[in-house]
Structure 1
Amino acid sequence: MKTSFVGKILLIFAMAFSMNSNAQFFKKLAKKAEKAAERTVERRVENETSKKTDQALDSILEPGSSGKQAPKAPENTGNGNQGNSGNGTSIPETSESTGTKAIQVYSKFDYVPGDKLMFFDDFAFDFVGDFPSKWNTNGSGEIVTLGDSAEKWLELISGYRLYYIPDVPQLPEEYTIEFDLMNVGVDNKTSSNAILRIDLSDDDKFQEGSNFVHANISFCQYTPVGITMESRINNRRDIYSTVKADLREEIQNRPHVSIAVNKQRFRLWVNEEKHIDIPRIVPIGEVLTTLKFHMNGFKDGTERVFISNLKVAEGGIDLRRKLISEGKVSTNGILFDVGSANIQPQSMGIIRQISQVLQQETSMNLKIVGHTDADGSNESNLSLSQKRAEAVKNALVSIYGISSGRLSSQGKGESEPVGDNGTTDGKAQNRRVEFIKQ
């Protein structure tokens, strides 16, 4: 069949359009490949740097290990295992919930928790299946366990104007907040609107309040959404901004969130990295009295979020100045893995401050004393406290270059409690490390 003149013209246009489309397609594909290659190089550099740091510090944080720690089930920060009671839900571990990030030491991590404990809850005294006794809500929620771990978590429910309020005393002008997060079912289909919001509010019930600060942490996996900050002063919006942050990997590996409020200043870290540092976002004075958590944008029943180890402490005291002026500081902000002397990475801000004092005061010597709560036997707690004090000493020597001859370590186990070992708060106060000038 002969092709008409018009048909030939149309065929030529079609071929040209197809060639142009293909050219555009391959050009876009090349750009994507180039960007992917750049990201691969960046990740390899980061991985190699991380490996070198880990290898240098394994002898401190993971005695007897020559490499990174294998992924494991979540553990609490106490010195003994907490048993579960009741017949509540135990969430099977899945690829989204297994393993914590292998321990890394963040020598430049500058977060330091408050020195006066106001609230701590790891749900140790709550029954699995119940709502925790030290929290309030206008919705629902229950204590669960994940996999074979005995650690307990509060499952938060997503909903419009649904709040979770821990029984934290009225917030002062300077304080810190810390907690751990886990999830099940969060994947590449999770909405970009799926967020956990940390609220500081002047309303102590289930409203936003006339004055507030909101920090929105996104759980979206298909694109980096960032952290959105919002504040209101006397019912008028003061700040609304989104800070660039790619938290996708952190969200899938039990992120530890740390917040420091120093009068008007608000800072937020996820794991070792500081993402938010706004100098004037908090209303002046002790206006924001209540801490709340709010979740929204998640698929009910399939995308599940859990919180544990919430710690709120009044603070702002510079440990360096206190050590120099008083010759002694005590802190429960140096955390260890359960039943071991492995230092948790979020503790490095305190150890860093101690190293700065020793670097400045070259004639100062320190004794490091470890204390535990009363879980376990006297003998095991005494041994554990000694190992933890020695681990802190080794960190000062190997990470910050302090001479070992200037440091000594001692363990006192459970022999000198400062809080009631029959309560969660008291046990958290008793798990502490002291630095004493010699």
Structure 2
Amino acid sequence: MKNQAIGLVGFMLIATSALAQVRVENPQRTVERNVEWRTNQKIDQGINRGLDKIEEGVGNIFKKKPKKDPAQTTKESGSDTSTPDNTASNDDTAEKKKTGTTTDGTTGTPKSLKTYSKFDFIPGEKVIAIEDFSQDAVGDFPAKWNTNASGEIVTIDGRPGKWLQFANNGIFYPEFVKQLPENFTLEFDMITSDNFSEMQSGLKVFFPIITERTLKFDQHFASHPLAAIDIHPTNGNSTTDVWVIDKSNERILENSLALPWQTGLINHISIWKQKTRLRVYVNESKVWDIPKAFLPDLTYSLLFATHIFDGTAYAGNLRVAVGTPDTRSKLITDGKFSTNGILFDVNSDKIKPESYGVLKDISNVLKDNPTVNVKIVGHTDSDGDEVSNLSLSKRRAASVKIALNKEFGIAESRMDTTGKGESEPTSPNTTQEGKANNRRVEFIKL
């Protein structure tokens, strides 16, 4: 027995020695083996995570549904719970559900004009495109858009209106927005699911040259002139990227910053192009101001893209306007200035905080010209009845006067107010764009 033990020990020593010799003789193979093992382990982990998600999804079919997160959607066949902006009765119902204060996307969280005190965004003077998906059925891809992937119209619990839910990897663009002019503004609302991943990308907004705005657009290796931003919110590590490609197909600018994202809330994105300059705002914060983002002799268009690892992105209330408002010249020289950039809650006289830039611009003109008095005139579209619209237009004009007085110090004695309701349209009330242009506030020099 003793001899057997000694023999076994001897065999183990010999084997260990042989193994050590093999390892010394071929260290490169050892490294390769370790790399192979680690790679396989990572792949296995990825597969297991995918299987876990499938199992979790199957298991959840038989579980009681938990309370929905802020981005939970409704996509029931034959059921449309949206609140389109052009339905007065639905708007009234939506208003009654609110807290009575202007909010930042959730009830009970007040947003004041003061919060936007550094917000200098001024929308274009004429609206050329409005997209609220009111014409689209829940569950469908929007009729006026194109994609190489998929997407669908949904409603979101606790959020008004309809939303486009983007597929996690694809190209999307509104066919009604073609070539963009030298000066324009683009606005839209965005929200993401709570599990939105920090890996890969968020929602990308591309401004490619018009000839490259196709379904073959390569969001990863585009080699033609463009300006682009990536809005990538996550739970605690939100970022935004910007990059620019010139005529030589070189990426001449690239940068990344922290993104001031409000998790779980509706976030308002404002993009402003003035000739070659690009400014991007998220809610009240300016995140990019790039003086040479666009080439002056090229025509650009609009395209969205996603390459999302996990989670879902939604967009709604897209609005494109053109032109650069010249408040000072029109009010002081021409004697009249009109803007649809002062926005209100639906069927309400409550001013939305993103109107701050326009109000500040008007107040600066009045401060620089202290002898000038103005009449503020409210106008509405033709939705609803004439009596209600007349009353609403007067109340909105009064709200603008109060804001200019309390927020910017313009004396009440310098401002008169009235309303014209739907009686003086500047555009036909037959389209969303026409209605948006008719919902305006006019300043007349006295």
2:227 maps to 213
2:237 maps to 223
Q: Judge conservation of contact 1:100–1:254 (CA < 8 Å) in 2.
A: no
1:109 maps to 119
1:130 maps to 140
Residues 100-127 of structure 1: CA distance to partner in whole angstroms, max 9, x if unpaired? 8522212332110111222111122222
Match runs of 1:269-348 below 5 Å = 269-288=281-300, 290-299=301-310, 303-348=311-356
2:435 maps to 427
Opposite residue 185 of structure 1, the aligned amino acid is D
Q: Judge conservation of contact 1:243–1:275 (CA < 8 Å) in 2.
A: no
Residues 126-175 of structure 1: CA distance to partner in whole angstroms, max 9, x if unpaired? 2222222222222222222122655111111110x423334214101111
Asked if residue 247 in structure 1 is aligned to residue 256 in structure 2, the reply is no
Q: Deviation of residue 331 (structure 1)?
A: 1.1
Please give the alpha-carbon distance, in whole angstroms, between the structure 2 residues aligned to 1:98 and 1:403: 33
Give the percent of matched residue pairs that are identical in Structure 1 and Structure 2: 40
Question: Aligned pair in 2 of structure 1 residues 325, 186: CA closer, same or farther (>3 Å)?
Answer: farther
2:195 maps to 186
Please give the alpha-carbon distance, in whole angstroms, between the structure 2 residues aligned to 1:212 and 1:354: 34
Match runs of 1:62-211 below 5 Å = 80=88, 99=107, 102-105=110-113, 106-147=116-157, 150-159=160-169, 161-186=170-195, 190-202=197-209, 203-206=212-215, 207-208=217-218, 210-211=224-225
SS at match of 1:380: helix
Q: Judge conservation of contact 1:155–1:304 (CA < 8 Å) in 2.
A: yes
Q: Deviation of residue 242 (structure 1)?
A: 2.5
Residues 41-76 of structure 1: CA distance to partner in whole angstroms, max 9, x if unpaired? xxxxxxxxxxxxxxxxxxxxxxxxxxxxxx9x9987
SS at match of 1:421: coil
Opposite residue 122 of structure 1, the aligned amino acid is D
Larger gyration radius, structure 1 or structure 2: 2
TM-score (norm 1): 0.73
Following superposition, which runs of at least 4 residues in structure 1 exceed 3 angstroms of deviation?
A: 73-83, 97-101
Match runs of 1:377-388 below 5 Å = 377-388=385-396
Q: Deviation of residue 271 (structure 1)?
A: 0.8
Opposite residue 111 of structure 1, the aligned amino acid is F
Unaligned runs of 5+ in 1: 1-70, 84-96
Question: Aligned pair in 2 of structure 1 residues 360, 118: CA closer, same or farther (>3 Å)?
Answer: same
RMSD (Å), alpha carbons? 2.4
Please give the alpha-carbon distance, in whole angstroms, between the structure 1 residues aligned to 2:280 and 2:108: 21
Please give the alpha-carbon distance, in whole angstroms, between the structure 1 residues aligned to 2:159 and 2:408: 34
SS at match of 2:258: coil
Opposite residue 229 of structure 1, the aligned amino acid is V
1:60 maps to none
Q: Deviation of residue 231 (structure 1)?
A: 1.1
Please give the alpha-carbon distance, in whole angstroms, between the structure 2 residues aligned to 1:308 and 1:244: 24
Opposite residue 220 of structure 1, the aligned amino acid is T
Please give the alpha-carbon distance, in whole angstroms, between the structure 1 residues aligned to 2:372 and 2:343: 25
Residues 293-315 of structure 1: CA distance to partner in whole angstroms, max 9, x if unpaired? 1122242xxx2221111111112
SS at match of 1:294: strand
Please give the alpha-carbon distance, in whole angstroms, between the structure 1 residues aligned to 2:84 and 2:284: 19
Please give the alpha-carbon distance, in whole angstroms, between the structure 1 residues aligned to 2:308 and 2:420: 48
Opposite residue 333 of structure 1, the aligned amino acid is G
SS at match of 2:399: helix
For this pair of structures, how many residues does the alignment match? 345
Q: Judge conservation of contact 1:122–1:153 (CA < 8 Å) in 2.
A: yes
2:56 maps to none
SS at match of 2:331: helix
TM-score (norm 2): 0.72
Q: Deviation of residue 256 (structure 1)?
A: 0.5
Q: Judge conservation of contact 1:178–1:310 (CA < 8 Å) in 2.
A: yes
Structure 2 residue corresponding to 1:414, chosen from 411, 422, 441: 422
Q: Judge conservation of contact 1:229–1:239 (CA < 8 Å) in 2.
A: no
Q: Judge conservation of contact 2:88–2:383 (CA < 8 Å) in 1.
A: yes
Please give the alpha-carbon distance, in whole angstroms, between the structure 1 residues aligned to 2:255 and 2:199: 13
Unaligned runs of 5+ in 2: 1-69, 73-81, 92-104
Question: Aligned pair in 2 of structure 1 residues 352, 293: CA closer, same or farther (>3 Å)?
Answer: same
Residues 340-363 of structure 1: CA distance to partner in whole angstroms, max 9, x if unpaired? 111111111111111011101111
Please give the alpha-carbon distance, in whole angstroms, between the structure 2 residues aligned to 1:434 and 1:373: 14
SS at match of 1:359: helix
1:40 maps to none
Q: Judge conservation of contact 2:194–2:263 (CA < 8 Å) in 1.
A: no
SS at match of 1:236: coil
